[in-house]
Structure 1
């Protein structure tokens, strides 16, 4: 975004992306013409978001005034202090001049027995360039909390907050859930820029000068030529035994930008340099001097000096502690900030509102994101493991290690991830410090202890390649599995009588498909050999816990094979192995075929054996359960045929008889023969076996009387 007014041009490259709130940063209000705004000259390549220069307001025509306590003549609507985490006010700290934006909480809790006042926006002593009246002087994406007996003063401005405001706040208070939303993108942009200034394309930026730590000072000697003077420092700027030292620059051309990259994870500056009246050489370099901490998680600026120049802290997991009497320049940290006083010194520590007008490296093409990955493998064999579940967390609370609970946890990033066949989970994220947390192990594996993998430091130096961490799992030890019985009981369907002689095969469920499959490409598994039921009608196998089926392959003699002949499922679990599992299998007797027999009586002469015609017989069926033939009374046997006379061959046949016992009763004899003393013969058993057999009974008569007997 470029604003043009008179002969002055100011470029704010990323403000256009974030909407109306950034227009407020620029001091644009309804009905105001952009071309009518008085603008100050700015660098062609400023900090991200157009941060650094004065934003109208009413900007000074030239240099900002030195530290003073005079009246307010100028107004600057630019952000002077940006904090990506929390802003903590402690001990005897007193003022933060200029606009303040905090993505997290603003927490004021000063020491007991000191002044309880903390000024934001307008300072009693400073450049005395304050934000416009009615503008947002303090913005917080979380809570604004002021300790008991203390006061937060922003009397001519607005304190805008997203969550809650507690304590005495003398300002126009406005609760706005989206208070910090327009400023959130700046955090990643500042992180990326900080990395780019120090580590272009993954390396270290080429210095144009040297930094020598000796003689109670650090001397930065430039090349007296380059308009961007670059210094790389990998040590603390402290004197002997950690005391104060001076800071001095030589060989810096007029109008040159100075970029000091202070490298390392923990850095301290302890200095007496810098003055109130802008008489020192260091003060004169202030508006074009940037102190860049790209990697540090801990930064401390202390001493008795008026620290000069703007500060950029790029690690979002960092904590910066400031206790010098004055910080003079823009202060931008993507992490958290503690404004405090030294334990032994006086109070009144202040941030003063001064612009940054330097011309920095163009980092438009530097990646602000990279990939963080976890690779899950088997601890013993190294094979990739599918099915592990992970959460990605970002270090955000300034406490070493991962905190997932409590009042101030780190920040969970994105959705949960489940490793695929290659065993990987990956996310593309902004630069910062990350942890992968395993929440569920792959099937058959133990979740490791600890289950957190990291930290993974994603920086500008490694963003293009990304960072990864290995994570291994150990297979679960198989518990000792007890065995138990699975039994089938074979019984007669009608009587419940145990049936021996049935043959069964046991099958185990192994293919994951409900029911028993005995064929096809993926059948279940037969267990052991076939079993024949014993005298108690039982078959039993002792097996491990699982799901089983008994299949009857042969029925007992005289019984039908049931359809279906599968009995189960029988589920044997680890908790019931002692009891086992059983099933009852019933069989029905085979149906007998409808076979009928016959009985033939042959009558002969008792002396000659000659066939006799004319003998008459009744056929009776045994039916009352009493031995012998009963032809009368209530319980008589059954008359099956009333009479049959023998033919010329002496034969009389009774056909189509159901199986059973029968009696022949002779009722008439041939002429010339007498009735035998025993007229009834039998019982004669007629069976239904195939093939049917004819029952033949031969009976005789004796001559006598010359006439037919009855």
Structure 2
């Protein structure tokens, strides 16, 4: 069958136009995101109020209130990539007064109040200036996330005298809900979940005190050896893959006490709690709390939470409201913000989260900076250029068809 030249041209023009209009729809499929705890994920200690602690934190430390360190070292285990993600490269952020001696091994430091004692950075600088973190806004979101996580459950919780076993089989997310009363009776806690799965253990109640049951051991299942491994810094199941995706969630606790005789694996989200690390034994993960105290060998080891949380719990960090780059004389440039700044008593004055660009507390929002992705492009920002291109190609196709028809008419 012979196809006329005008018909072929029209078909070509229509095909080009159709392809241009269909392409945006195919490309508009978003990439997978990884909901996280926002800027809190970057810090080994993320504290809304005061932090009184010795001898060290292997990761970064952010304190909204006053920090009393005597002595203290910060950031010894941070990588260059992790430092680059910190606001202003600050491995130490103190919104209020800073009492040393404190040494920042890797990264910079910044404090908003007065400095007492020595504060030095081995590979950076420590300056006076406004906090690059809006602690009030971040903790409003973290409390909403903590409450949302508490709604999940389903994992098996099996008490047996002084032994408590938590068992989950989901390869992506295992969620447990256990009362503080039950958990603090356990001398040993056993956790068995698939390697690589995210685990959330929600602890209900107003307080959780490990000293009541003298919790001395946390044991994580290692599928490779087909046995439980007693967690410690240099000994952990699956090479640490279990604890790096383990989050202890205490949404309503106002007090958390760690038993000094154990290494507590995983990160702890206790946004309303005064957290007592005791005088020995580390947390092998991050601590997010209202306030923190610890002494002796009660350290926080640098094993940040790397799990992707359920999509409804995503946190987007509130950007700093002022520049954080100090001027040559050490005074920060820009107009000072009340975010994280000390009041006359040394306690930071919360700025809240009511800025026009900030979402209301508890509103789940996507985190474009979350590890593991973000959207390929969002909404009209990606669709508009392709749509305009489609219109131009459509016009070109129609023009070809019209020109060919006219040429055929003249020949006739």
TM bucket normalised to smaller: 0.5 to 0.7
Counterpart-to-counterpart distance in 2, 1:80 and 1:349: 13
CA contact (8 A) 2:43 2:62 kept: yes
Counterpart-to-counterpart distance in 2, 1:312 and 1:364: 13
Equivalent runs, 1:177-188 vs 2, <5 Å = 178-188=130-140
1:144 matched to 2:98: yes
Over 3 Å counting, the alpha-carbon distance change for 1:279 and 1:145 in structure 2 is: closer
Q: Secondary structure of 1:351's match?
A: coil
Equivalent runs, 1:524-673 vs 2, <5 Å = none
CA contact (8 A) 2:172 2:197 kept: yes
1:266 matched to 2:207: yes
Over 3 Å counting, the alpha-carbon distance change for 1:51 and 1:357 in structure 2 is: same
Please report how far the alpha carbon of residue 353 of structure 1 lies from its aligned counterpart in structure 2 after TM superposition. Answer: 1.0
Counterpart-to-counterpart distance in 1, 2:351 and 2:64: 17
The residue aligned with 2:52 is: 88
Over 3 Å counting, the alpha-carbon distance change for 1:364 and 1:259 in structure 2 is: closer
Q: Which has the higher strand share?
A: 1
RMSD of Structure 2 on Structure 1 (CA): 3.5
1:293 matched to 2:212: no
CA contact (8 A) 1:120 1:137 kept: yes
The residue aligned with 2:307 is: 358
CA contact (8 A) 1:211 1:231 kept: yes
1:44 matched to 2:33: yes
Over 3 Å counting, the alpha-carbon distance change for 1:209 and 1:338 in structure 2 is: same
The residue aligned with 1:174 is: 127
CA contact (8 A) 2:176 2:202 kept: yes
Counterpart-to-counterpart distance in 1, 2:232 and 2:166: 18
Q: Work out the number of aligned pairs and report it.
A: 277
1:229 matched to 2:182: no
The gaps in structure 2 that reach 5 residues or longer are 1-31, 219-230, 316-342, 353-359, 365-412
* 1:680-703 C-alpha deviation (Å, 9 max, x unpaired): xxxxxxxxxxxxxxxxxxxxxxxx
Counterpart-to-counterpart distance in 2, 1:303 and 1:357: 25
1:193 matched to 2:136: no
Q: Secondary structure of 1:338's match?
A: strand
Counterpart-to-counterpart distance in 2, 1:308 and 1:352: 10
Match of 1:103 among 43, 48, 64: 64
Counterpart-to-counterpart distance in 1, 2:248 and 2:269: 6
Counterpart-to-counterpart distance in 2, 1:282 and 1:290: 17
Over 3 Å counting, the alpha-carbon distance change for 1:210 and 1:303 in structure 2 is: farther
The TM-score, its normalising length taken from structure 1, stands at 0.35
1:325 matched to 2:277: no
Match of 1:348 among 297, 302, 323: 297
The residue aligned with 1:212 is: 158
The TM-score, its normalising length taken from structure 2, stands at 0.59
Please report how far the alpha carbon of residue 88 of structure 1 lies from its aligned counterpart in structure 2 after TM superposition. Answer: 1.2
Equivalent runs, 1:53-452 vs 2, <5 Å = 78-89=42-53, 93-108=54-69, 117-122=71-76, 129=79, 132=83, 135-146=89-100, 151-171=101-121, 172-176=125-129, 178-198=130-150, 204-205=151-152, 207-222=153-168, 224-225=169-170, 227-236=172-181, 245-250=187-192, 252-269=193-210, 270-273=215-218, 274-280=231-237, 283-315=240-272, 318-323=273-278, 324-333=280-289, 335-340=290-295, 347-363=296-312, 407=345
Please report how far the alpha carbon of residue 430 of structure 1 lies from its aligned counterpart in structure 2 after TM superposition. Answer: 5.1
The residue aligned with 2:330 is: none
The gaps in structure 1 that reach 5 residues or longer are 1-42, 53-77, 110-116, 199-203, 341-346, 367-404, 415-428, 432-459, 461-710
The residue aligned with 1:567 is: none
Over 3 Å counting, the alpha-carbon distance change for 1:284 and 1:410 in structure 2 is: closer
Q: Which has the higher helix share?
A: 2
Q: Secondary structure of 1:85's match?
A: coil
Q: Secondary structure of 1:137's match?
A: strand
Counterpart-to-counterpart distance in 2, 1:213 and 1:135: 45
Please report how far the alpha carbon of residue 183 of structure 1 lies from its aligned counterpart in structure 2 after TM superposition. Answer: 4.9
Q: Secondary structure of 2:190's match?
A: strand
Over 3 Å counting, the alpha-carbon distance change for 1:410 and 1:297 in structure 2 is: farther
Larger C-alpha radius of gyration, 1 or 2? 1
Give 4+ residue runs of structure 1 displaced > 6 Å after superposition: 408-414
Counterpart-to-counterpart distance in 1, 2:67 and 2:39: 24
